[in-house]
Amino acid sequence: MDWDDVRPPARKSASIGDNLETLSVAELEERIGAFSDEIERIRAELERKRAHESAAAALFKSSKS
């Protein structure tokens, strides 16, 4: 058995600044979906970190009083 047959094919990743001229309409729509999902994931992480930062700031502010 060849391990290349077992392993899933490598996934093409979309990057900011890629040449879009060679992509089909379906591929462009797929990229929009992928980037939208990634934006939501980043926003959720940003919100989580901001909440953690606020909680830490509040803790240190109350301990100085």
pLDDT tens sequence across 26-45: 999 999 999 999 999 999 99
Count CB neighbours of 27 within 10 A: 13
Of the pLDDT bands very low, low, confident and very high (cuts 50, 70, 90), residue 2 is confident
CA-based max dimension of the chain: 69
* Predicted pLDDT at 44: 98
Q: Angle at Cα 25 formed by Cα 24 and Cα 26, nearest 5°?
A: 90
pLDDT at 8 over 90: no
